[in-house]
A and B are shown apart, each in its own frame.
Chain A
């Protein structure tokens, strides 16, 4: 029986990258996954610039860009009020300096990378860095001795039961985490109201950079992805999901037509759907404890949240860097496990992280925008700097609280260059707002 420094359960965004970074630092790592690669997992796959920057820091960006279209500007349209912007490089640098102590590898582009593409690149890189990768390997049991997790038992591809031991077990096994369930870890900060999301892959059109539309309680997004296809996604409040799933293809098109008639028309008249429609009803957010004797969690296993800001993969990368830096210090003997894990915990549970968690969860309720929120979008038009900062806030690059600060909001409004009179949604606002409360699919 071999003793590894770390066993990582789950070999996707959080697991493969943690294994990669630990192996790069010379540690003995085993990473296992129940699935095989290339394969998809329920997830759209928008990667914000800091997500891309992580890939660049790890030397994997070129491989991704060789097969994936990338852009720097996004268009965000709320009730007809359009904003276009990019995450500012300076804020990206600040983000990395603040969180990881160095800002190397920052790129300003984003991309939408199919998981079958991205995850395979990550797994390949982990193996190349020296991590031992076993796919089709299902962990069935955690080995616990004296209250400490010391290894795993699982079924390998040939059906054989295998036991492996390590100094630490990393749970990178997703929102339904086996590790968390086995250890009976509680969920914290649960926010049950969330979105249902349905999407598919379409060929036949190219709209350039990604677009994100929102009207009332529904939203849709289109992003160019691999294989000359577009990922087209619709989402809405989970309260409406039962009715939606009564006729998924019909309601998918209905939602597109409602939120963005232009996009609905492109999809209907030019698009060819290349795959089935995928979807999920439950993306309720929660946190779990981060670490304990012999184990640590990363990615969705530790903190899952709604897809509405498309941040999960990027956060999985962030976790991988944070946790591998912490584990490295401990494995080298530069810090005790408690010190190392406390440092990881402080970053993951910082005030900014809490504010962003609330931001995502509140957004995921998909309440119709209030008058002042829409007014804010109007005020942002013509103020590129603040538009970019808003996009950076949404993407968790800049602190939410600095943007949503009384004096900032007042000032934005005062300096607005455009009046709301030019936007139809303000015409009979109260009535429009009321009509948005009606379930479109009922």
Chain B
């Protein structure tokens, strides 16, 4: 080792200079400064290394030098203490806890719970709010600390405002009167009623497919359709952003899953060609949503279905969000692309437009219908949709198909355009296409959580989504519009939301948020 290597390390030298500054020993300061490495001098150019001796006497200059040197000498977190609870709540993601360690299933979820509690205490936990009254375009809610708020409601999935529709309520009451609350069996046994058959027929009519199966939830329909049809040696191509019930169905059904780039039909074609080059014997299910519920966009289904047929693959489209609320006569994305009756398998959920739990799977094949009922699991081994729910959905389907349905959809879209225009006009980023879902991109989770906290008291109810609903770093408000929203309400909400975002950006001192790309 050369003598040069015995030189003292920069940190130590800065320590000496600081100590000397304390005793106003300018000579030691200047002498030690000459020993500081070229690297550190070139980095800390704000410190007048060569002039330390000439500082003598000038108190403010000395104070500045001491401050600058201290900054290099002390780790930053010691200088800027932060509220640990808030830091923990804002900096972590659910992703950080999704696979806990240890063999004790009861105790190992503690870390996650600690984070949830920190988020509750800091009122940044957007989940588990409850309604205090029937949700309408305005709603009254309570958060899980018991605080109450009332606001313009973009938090309910009731696109055509059926919750307050007299005919829907009447249908529910009548079914209640005729059959009772009734959940007395699997649909395979004795869970269904006469109205179940009616409803299947009405839905078949709406999507142009003859054979429809009802499921007790939309989740059950998606999951059941995939695991019912696909075997371990089969393949699934699934849009990266397809609904969770389909993703988890895919995981449960086979290891041969390809998640293709969102909406990219060319990627599907490429993958299909690849698979068919080596596997001509097994099935391929291609899975996509109609309207995507966190991005508000939709695929080119015409090409997608054609590409599937060319490769002997089967297409499944989830129309949960668009059916009833958009498209000619409420036929959703299928109707908009003139595809009624020509997509292999269509599934949907009633919870967005049809004012009830439940879901369905439809196709032209009676065999497929019978097969999914038997082997989908979530149909056979779950109790049926209750008569009240069935009647509500049947009535909703009737209205959707009527002239009144057209009026409601027109109103809905007036409110959607008002909301989107107002948000965009304020420089905020609305994703996707005009549809009942208006995703307002925030990006950074901290910003989204803080904005969400501020919004609670300001008269707008909106659901903030983050991982695992969205990828990390792309959180957003998912605003769900209703036919009952007046355009003025939409504009007022946009104004309030903008204020909340601006204030949280200032609070966090963040330069990020709601930026394009």
Contacts and interface: CB of A to CB of B under 8 A. Distances in A.
Interface residues of B, number: 65
B513 interface: yes
Nearest to A41: B42
A192 B470 CA distance: 27
Contacts of B71: 282
A245 B12 contact: yes
A332 interface: no
A277 B9 contact: yes
Contacts of B68: 176
Nearest to B100: A371
Contacts of B40: 42, 278
Interface stretch (B91-99, B134-142, B406-414): B91-99
Nearest to B447: A354
Interface stretch (B193-201, B217-225, B251-259, B385-393): B251-259
Contacts of A173: 45
A401 B255 contact: no
Nearest to B512: A354
A356 B517 CA distance: 13
Nearest to B46: A176
Contact of B101 (A190, A245, A289, A433): A433
A239 B102 contact: no
A372 B77 contact: no
A189 to B, nearest CB: 5
Interface string A345-376: 01101111111111100100000001110010
Given A43-B43, A404-B471, A279 B9 contact: yes
Given A371-B101, A411-B259, A276 B515 contact: no
B99 A239 contact: no
Given A176-B45, A430-B102, A358 B247 contact: no
A408 B4 CA distance: 52
A400 B473 contact: yes
Contacts of B247: 406-407, 410
Given A248-B11, A276-B4, A276-B9, A41 B474 contact: no
Given A189-B510, A241-B75, A407 B515 contact: no
B45 A189 contact: no
B45 A34 contact: yes
Nearest to A283: B76
Interface in A375-417: 375, 399-402, 404-411, 413-415
B209 interface: no
A148 B515 CA distance: 27
A40 B99 contact: no
Given A186-B509, A248-B11, A370-B96, A39 B42 contact: yes
B46 A355 contact: no
Contacts of B275: none
B54 interface: no
B366 interface: no
Contact of A40 (B38, B102, B255): B38
Given A278-B37, A281-B11, A405-B471, A346 B515 contact: yes
Contacts of A407: 240, 244, 247, 259
Contacts of B79: 192
Nearest to A238: B75
Contact of B251 (A181, A273, A402, A414): A414
A131 B470 CA distance: 46
B99 A371 contact: yes
Nearest to A350: B517
Nearest to A426: B101
A190 B79 CA distance: 12
A287 interface: yes
A359 B474 CA distance: 13
B422 to A, nearest CB: 21
Interface string A252-279: 0000000000000000000011011111
Nearest to B101: A371
A173 B91 CA distance: 30
Contacts of B74: 281-282
A275 B82 contact: no
A400 B76 contact: no
Contacts of A245: 9, 11-12
Interface in A155-206: 173-176, 178, 181, 186-190, 192-194, 196
A173 B44 CA distance: 10
Contacts of A353: 512
Contacts of A189: 508-512
A429 interface: yes
A173 B7 CA distance: 28
Contacts of A82: none
B381 interface: no
B1 interface: yes
A356 B443 CA distance: 11
Nearest to B429: A351
B37 A404 contact: no
B516 interface: yes
B444 A354 contact: yes
Contacts of B77: 192-194, 238-239, 284
B65 to A, nearest CB: 13
Nearest to B43: A42
Interface in B18-44: 37-44
Contact of B98 (A193, A351, A372, A430): A372
B10 A279 contact: yes
A73 interface: no
A35 interface: yes
A372 B102 CA distance: 11
Interface in A19-71: 34-35, 39-43
A273 B46 CA distance: 30
Given A176-B45, A190-B80, A196 B98 contact: no
Contacts of A415: 255
A372 B99 contact: yes
A19 B238 CA distance: 47
B302 interface: no
A346 B427 CA distance: 12
Interface string B490-517: 0000000000000000001111110111
Contact of B471 (A39, A187, A192, A401): A401
Nearest to B96: A370
A439 interface: no
B9 A352 contact: no
Q: Which 10 A-B pairs have the closest CB atoms?
A: A355-B473, A372-B99, A371-B101, A284-B76, A401-B471, A406-B468, A238-B75, A42-B43, A354-B512, A192-B77
Given A248-B9, A407-B259, 15 more contacts: A42-B40, A174-B43, A176-B45, A176-B68, A189-B511, A190-B80, A194-B76, A282-B74, A282-B75, A287-B511, A354-B473, A354-B515, A371-B100, A406-B467, A407-B244
6 contacts: A34-B45, A40-B38, A174-B45, A194-B77, A278-B10, A405-B472
Interface of A: 34-35, 39-43, 138, 173-176, 178, 181, 186-190, 192-194, 196, 238-239, 241-242, 245, 248, 272-273, 275-282, 284, 287, 289, 346-347, 349-359, 362, 370-372, 375, 399-402, 404-411, 413-415, 429-430, 433
